[in-house]
Amino acid sequence: MQFVDVETASRIEFDDGRVLTRCDQCRQMYAERTPPGTPPCKTCRVELKEENEDAAAVYFLTRRQVVTVGAGQVVDISIPAVKIAMDLYGVKDQRDCLNRIRRVFHHYLKDQGNES
């Protein structure tokens, strides 16, 4: 049995090849309620476009690897960490992937009020 990072792939891979996703677990939880319920898939699940899958995988792996200044103010994602992850995942268009990751990172950084 292999547990895959909940924030990136959200699944458990069993030795016999079966895969149990976070969605499967949620559906089972709602089905076992008294009375049985329907999971909120439309508000929970996000389907990525194929061109964003590499960027999402690398982003979730590296999003806490950051560059800080002063008293710990976060100013950017660690580009060396992103580069290593892109190499490990075999990302072909690394420049485009890096640009997508940095846009998402700075979007959330701005939302948190850490960027002027």
Would you call 18 exposed, middle or buried from its count of C-beta atoms within 10 A (0-12, 13-18, 19+)? exposed
Whether residues 55 and 25 share a domain: the answer is no
Q: What is the tens place of the pLDDT at every residue in 42-78?
A: 777 677 788 888 999 999 899 999 999 998 899 999 9
- Residue 50 DSSP label: G
Task: Find out whether the peptide bond into 35 is cis, omega within 30 degrees of 0.
Answer: yes
Whether residues 60 and 102 share a domain: the answer is yes
pLDDT value at residue 103: 94
Query: Is 95 contained in some domain?
Result: yes
Whether residues 18 and 63 share a domain: the answer is no
Checking if the pLDDT of 18 tops 70, the result is yes
Residue 8, domain extent: 2-44
Checking if the pLDDT of 3 tops 50, the result is no
Whether residues 56 and 101 share a domain: the answer is yes
Query: Is 86 contained in some domain?
Result: yes
Report percent pLDDT > 90 for the chain. Answer: 46
Into how many domains does the chain fold? 2
